[in-house]
Amino acid sequence: MEKKSYPRGPYLVRRNQERPANTDCGAALVARVARMGREPERLERIRAMVLAIHDIAGRCETLADALWEPSDNSSLSMKIRHFHDDLDLKTTRHCMGALYRTAGYDKLCEDGILHKSLVRQEHTIPANIVAGMIFHHFRGAPVEELADFLLTQTIITATTRDEDKIINGLRRSYPEAPGRTRWKDEHPCFDQRSHPHRGGARPFLRYHQTGIQVRFWPTGETVDLASDTLDAHRERVRRFDLYRVETYFPSAVALAA
C-alpha cells in the first residue's frame, strides 16, 4: 500500500496544569467530557482522524498494511491510537478523559502522585485487533458507520504501569481460547476477524482473573469484568455528545446494536 501523510487537524490548546487530582470525582469528569464535546477544534480534529482512518482502510490491500509497526505512522493501528489521544486518553495527558479507571489509577489520584510515568492508556480491546476488525468489515463502508464503531466499540481503561504488567503478563486461560496464556495483544472475546456490533461480547473479560477492579467513573459503577457486555458499554458512552456519531456527521443515525 502506498503510504501518505494525514493532517491531525487543528492544534488543541491544553490547560497545562489540568490533571485529575484527589478531588476528581465522577461529576468533574462528566463536566470535563461535556466541555470537550463543545470544543470546535477538538471535534474537527477527531473528525479529521476518523476520515483518515476511513481513507487508510480503503487503501489497505492486505491485513499487514493495517497493522502497527514501530516505523509506520500511517497504519490503521497507529491512527486508532491517535484517535484515542484526541479524546484525551493519552498517557501524557494522564488519561484525562478516561471514562473507565482502575482502582490503582484512582489511588494515585487520591494520593496526589499522579504522573505520566505511572499511568497507562490500556487498550481494553488491543489496537491491532481493532485495526483488523476495520480491515475485514469497514473497507468501503460509509464513514458514518466507521465513526460509530470507533466511538462506541473501542475502549480505553486508565490503569497504572504496575497493573499493566499484571494484565499483560499474568498467565491465564479461557474457555473461549484454550491453550493461550498471555493477552498482551490478544483478547478472549475479540480477534481481528470478529464482526462488529456483537452486543453480547464481553470487552472487560480481558481483565478477569487479574485482581484488578474497574469502574465507570462518571457514575462510580463497578464493572463486572466477567459479564459486562459491549451493549452496556455503548449505552454508557452514548450519553455524551463526544461519543455520538451525530456530533461529527450531523446527518448520521447511530447504528443499533
For helices 76-84 and 40-59, what crossing angle results, to 10°? 170
User: In this predicted model, what pLDDT tens digit does every residue of 190-228 receive, in sequence order?
Assistant: 999 999 989 999 999 989 888 899 999 999 999 999 999
Question: pTM to 2 decimals?
Answer: 0.88
Structural domain boundaries in the chain: 26-247
What's the mean pLDDT in 113-117?
A: 85
User: In this predicted model, what pLDDT tens digit does every residue of 50-109 receive, in sequence order?
Assistant: 999 999 999 999 998 888 665 677 789 999 999 999 999 998 888 989 999 999 999 888
